Chain A
Amino acid sequence: MNKQGRTRTMFQVRFHGRGGQGVVTAAELLASAAFREDRHAQAFPSFGSERMGAPVMSFCRIDDKPIRTHEPVTEPDALIIQDATLLHQAELFSGLNDQGYMLVNSTKNVGDLGLDEFIQGFRQDRLLVVPASALAMTHLGRPLPGAALLGGFAALTWAVSLDSVLAAITEKFTGPVAEGNAEAARAAFEFVRDERDALTGQAPAREAQADA
């Protein structure tokens, strides 16, 4: 049963980043986290002959039923932007509807990202930023934002729980790398949760967290 009041239909996530930043690993970690919650999940990259620094995409689908499609995600429910310099380059927002979620790796505020034209009509409590690279530098010592963004993603969407994200991280990595990534994810979760609570003026997510 669904304890957190989520919709139980397919949830599709598109990751945008740069080659070498870990978009593929991030999508795989999210799928692994969802799988731990007895859900069906898939993750795959938009396979390019990519090089370091090139704009790259990856995808993750989560559902309660076996997922038959293996198409790239063209109508995402959520976007995770690993590199804010992509915001004005690629067609990042393609297919995102006005109820969609977006989490941007940035130290700026959403209002300072130059997206005013785009974000009109969207739910402001669903378009959030988290300084994922900075958190990764603090806790991991390397500017790899994937794990932190997934922690923030858990707080933003509740599509997966923080515990599942942490379990996926500690399965994928070992030793200090696992610990650093897990710490970064925890910190990002709290950052996004507080950011969202401030916008909504309440803390529905915390009740759901206690329930979970």
Chain B
Amino acid sequence: MLKQIEGSRAVAEAVAMCRPQVICAYPITPQTHIVEALSAMVKTGDLHAEFLNVESEFAAMSMAIGAAAAGARAYTATASQGLLFMSEAVYNAAGLALPIVMTVANRAIGAPINIWNDHSDAMSQRDAGPA
């Protein structure tokens, strides 16, 4: 049966079907609804995963690296300035060939603060080597 849901919710449901074991989250518009939905699934027990509220995007990817290096399926999501803050760890994740899954919600990079959608965030990390 088809149903209509918010795009972020659809991402969250698809991620949940992949049974991630570690989810690292730091909120940033417009990605927040994805990890909110995942956190609700973890809370209700529909998804068995470690949900880690971290202190920054840099920490989110760093913990995903640690989790993936230990053999866990790791997921995180971010956008815009959050992806830039994460950048150093993104290169390490790619260089270590760790199978981390990340959603980039594609929001323009500031300044000034910009909440419109474009690909300037994802394109900035293109050459880090994520598959």
Residues in chain A within 8 A of chain B (CB atoms): 28, 31-32, 35, 41, 47-49
Contact = CB atoms under 8 A, between A and B. Distances in A.
Contact of B115 (A31, A35, A41, A47): A47
Contacts, number: 15
Contacts of B117: 47
Q: Is the interface of B mostly helix, strand, loop or mixed?
A: loop
B30 interface: yes
A49 B115 contact: yes
A41 B30 CA distance: 20
A47 B116 contact: yes
Contacts of A28: 6
Contacts of A32: 4
Contact of A49 (B3, B4, B6, B113): B113
A35 B4 contact: yes
A47 B7 CA distance: 14
B28 to A, nearest CB: 12
A48 B115 contact: yes
A41 B116 contact: no
A28 B7 CA distance: 12
Contacts of A47: 29-30, 115-117
Contacts of B113: 49
A31 B30 CA distance: 20
